[in-house]
Structure 1
Amino acid sequence: MNINPIDEGRYGSLEMRRLFSKKFKYQTYIEIEKELVIALFEAGEIARHDVDIIIQKAEHYDPDLKAISDIESSTRHEVAAVIKHFSSLCGEAGKYVHFGATSSDILDTTTAIQLKKASTLLERLLTELCELACNHAFEHQDLIMIGRTHGQQALPITLGFKFANWADELSRHLIRFRQIKSRLFVGKLAGAVGASAAIETDDISIESRVMQRLGITAGNISTQIVHRDRIAEFICFSALLASSLDNIATEIRNLQRTEIDELREPFGLAHQIGSSTMPHKRNPVLCENICSLARLLRGMVIPAMENMVSWHERDLANSANERFIIPQACLLLEEILQKAVTIFKDISINRDSIERNLREFGQKYMAEAVMLELIKHGVDRQVAYHELRSLSHLQDSDEFEMLVKNNLLITNTLSISIIEELLKPKNYIGHCAEKAILVAQNVLNEIKNG
């Protein structure tokens, strides 16, 4: 019986769900045990015959989940149950399985392997999203639209400038992601309390060799567990990235509002339904999903931070919630990224609405341009500001151009031809287009040079 929507397959790809399945987890446990046995053989601790048996059984290990569950019902210890099940398949050689290790060695190393594989999927999506944002920045570098602050019209910008801002923010997350990898993909094989006392060999490099073969690294030192600041950093990163995507999705949702209607997320016109009762609805459900899942992901930061606190060399206070937060952070972040990629690939841009919104309120948003030109021509700044403020707030200010052209202070200072040029949005977008191109190119270079 499935309760969690992740288990129902609603969120996360098949591959990401596979990485956190019991079967993959248990197979990874045994892969680690195999590499430990090989390292012990190389150190002269185990005979070749026993190693060959364990390797052969490990490479063909298909965990019997029912049998392991039955064992765990009595042992009340998951790792011990898996080890007991696998050891029974190895005959006499089974006594060397888990030799010198503790359950945290297996658990934390498995987590590192899962996170490395999951990160490959996440980074691929984040990179694609950055590239899509850059493509939109290039394509729409000159498409003038109204910029808004506090939900009100502010000054004209370009749509490419908006996408470039998103590309720049997303690229910082890509840089962060790449930076934390060396701190995240860390396992351990140091036994109880981290002292490596149970491995009776002078070869201190066994741990690092095993980790290298597994494709991860060993920490400089550990207690009985890998220090939880590493996982907390990943969860915090995931929450940061999800929050940026929440911000982007919220902006698209606002720009899809009926009265604005400048951007629209993809919608399956043939079959998709917005409302079960209102046939006309075209709801921004992808964006809303992003915002909703981001809220859930942010909530995982607190337990991740609290898991950094441990009694002495190890306790179990982190274990239960990590069964939730680590796989769910990966699955939810992947889902959020995938939805964002889907939106950026097929986003609809309503140029008619963009143009309408530039005209609709009489271009009051050009008041700053007129004010600054008056100042340049000798008018006191406070006088110019209050004159334009008064015109903008008049009841008939939707006729802003007419009001400006009929104002004596303005027309005594500026010619009609200058006023007309000042009121054209294309003349007051600053360096929006140049910045869009520059930022998009820099982001693509960052992706390329990695």
Structure 2
Amino acid sequence: MIDRYSTPELRALWSEASKYRAWLKVELSAMDAQATLGEVPREAHTELVAASERDPLDEAFAARVAEIEAVTRHDIVAFTTALSERYGDAARFIHHGLTSTDVVDTAQNLLLDESLALVTEDVRALREVCRTQAATYKHTPTVGRTHGIHAEPMTFGLKFLNWMSTLDRDLERLHAARERIRVVMLSGSVGTYAHVSPQVEEMVAAAWGWRVALVTNQTLARDRHAEVLSALAIFGTTLEKIAVEIRHLQRSEVREAMEPFGAGQKGSSSMPHKKNPILTENVTGLTRLLRGYLVTGLENVPLWHERDISHSSAERVILPDAVQAASYAARRLTGVLKNLVVFPERMLKNLNDLGGLVFSQRVLHLLIDDRGMAREAAYAIVQRNALQSWETGEGLRDLLKRDPENPLTDDDLDRAFDLQWYLREVDHTFRRFGL
């Protein structure tokens, strides 16, 4: 991911040096188990642990691995060679009985686990902002829209509450995906444990509080990674859903809410009056990447026989990019919602702009329930007057009052056009969330 759309924590986590530290953690954990089983000298493991703490793998080590790999054309061979150079003779017991993918896949799981923990923190922060804003605007009337057209009254707080509820499901999916990826694979070439005892894998998993992959070939099954990317992509759709709503509400014709506009900010190089929703447009674009990464992740699942490496090159891009895009977009949207500029008066004006058309269903029900009219006849009265209101701009109530076929009294119409009647159950929905 380019620096512009990455977060500092994840940029550091997915650096080359960090990757090699994860590889070393796998190697040392396996070596620890093998030493316990008497398969390698305990002294060698102790020496390597002390050396790695005294002289941790850094960017200089990563550069040396790159130099060696330019000759070997094999990253693990380059890695183990560089380890021997750095830490001496004890490193010859590294990678004993393992195959490259044992280390690469298990270490990648370590990075994904840490990444998903960070993304989860970002989702929780976004959820908390939605919760705060839901409470703030719990009773702020606005017009609900379906198909982009005015439908019926609701409150602005309900939008935030709906987003918060969606984010709760995103958190559940991210937790499940994180659990799916927290597995250790140390089964050797083609997964037969011919050169490494199954106990090594089990001991490493127990030490980490993880599980073992119950059966593997020479690679960890990629449906696990697809599940991670799926959770991130679905989270992306939540981000986009929120972002698109803010973009619509900021339109000049609507102007019910808008992104914060900082002092000194410029909206256009040519039109000084412009205030554009650039932050939420940016979020929308990043979520498209998340869906694209998922497509590639799904295509990585079917590999040839016990393994090929057609997935490898793609994963070097999509896995770090996906978690970074999700984290960056979440933080950006959190800032937007936290500092959202809201115009309640404009919301009320827009709600009333169509002359009471949004109250048509209440009129329909009063004709049916209180006056005993057949639904078809009642609907015909309301629709006839509503369409005339659309065409002439005259208020629906005034038209109904003059309609000789309308039996509703002034008191009935007062009830029909009562805004608060539409909002009377809002508290009930909020109580479901403890608000």
Q: Do the two structures share a fold, i.e. TM-score over 0.5?
A: yes
Tell me the CA shift for residue 373 of structure 1. 0.3
Q: Alpha-carbon deviation of 1:386?
A: 1.4
SS of alignment partner, residue 261 of structure 2: coil
Q: Secondary structure at the match of 1:273?
A: coil
- Residues 1:231 and 2:228 aligned together: no
Confirm whether residue 357 of structure 1 aligns to residue 350 of structure 2: yes
Of residues 163, 166, 169, the one that matches 1:169 is 166
Aligned partner of 2:30 among 15, 33, 36: 36
d(CA) in 1 for partners of 2:209 and 2:248? 44
Other-structure match for 2:324: 331
Instruction: Give the alignment of 1:162-311 within 5 angstroms.
Output: 162-199=159-196, 204-214=198-208, 216-268=210-262, 270-311=263-304
CA distance in 1, matches of 2:416, 2:175: 46
CA offset at residue 139 of structure 1?
Answer: 2.1
Percent identity of paired positions between Structure 1 and Structure 2: 31
| SS of 1:117 mapped into structure 2 | helix
Describe how 1:42-53 pairs up with structure 2 within 5 A: 42-53=36-47
> How far apart are 1:52 and its partner, in Å?
2.5
CA RMSD of aligned residues (A): 1.6
Q: Decide whether the 8 Å contact of 1:207 with 1:218 is kept in 2.
A: yes
Q: Could you say what secondary structure the match of 1:131 adopts? A: helix
Contact 2:184 2:204 in 1 (8 A): no
- Report the residue type matching 2:161 in the other structure: A
Aligned to 2:398: 402
Where structure 2 has 5 or more consecutive residues not aligned to the other structure, the ranges are none
- Report what 2:18 is aligned to: 24
Residue 61 of structure 1 corresponds to: 56
The unaligned stretches of length 5 or more in structure 1 are 1-5, 443-450
How far, CA to CA, are the matches of 1:69 and 1:128 in structure 2? Answer: 38
Give the CA deviation at 1:430.
5.3
Asked if 2 retains the 8 angstrom alpha-carbon contact of 1:223 and 1:313, the reply is yes
Using the alignment, how far apart are the partners of 2:394 and 2:256 within structure 1?
21
String of CA shifts for 1:313-364, please: whole Å, max 9, x gaps. 1111110000011001100011111112112211111011101101211011
Name the aligned partner's letter for residue 440 of structure 1: F
User: Is 2:153 aligned against 1:156?
Assistant: yes
Listed as ranges, the matches of 1:142-153 within 5 Å are 142-153=139-150
Deviations along 1:248-291, one digit per CA (max 9) or x if unpaired, are 111111011111111112221x1111111111111111111111
The 2-side partners of 1:256 and 1:195 are apart by 60
TM-score normalised by L of structure 1: 0.92
Distance 1:424 1:317 in 2: 63
SS at match of 2:5: coil
Q: Does the CA contact (< 8 Å) of 1:366 and 1:422 recur in 2?
A: yes
Q: Which has the higher contact order (CA 8 A, sep 6+)?
A: 1
Residues 194, 222 of structure 1: 8 Å contact kept: yes
Asked whether the equivalents of residues 36 and 42 of structure 2 are also in contact (C-alpha less than 8 Å), the reply is no
Q: 1:214: how far off?
A: 4.2
The residue that corresponds to 2:92 in the other structure is 95
User: CA contact under 8 A between 2:229 and 2:297: conserved in structure 1?
Assistant: yes
Aligned residues: 429
| 1:388-444 per-position Cα deviation (integer Å, ceiling 9, x unaligned) | 11111112244222112222222xx22202202211222223523321x134328xx
TM-score by structure 2 length? Answer: 0.95
Q: Check conservation: 1:130, 1:170, Cα contact below 8 A.
A: yes
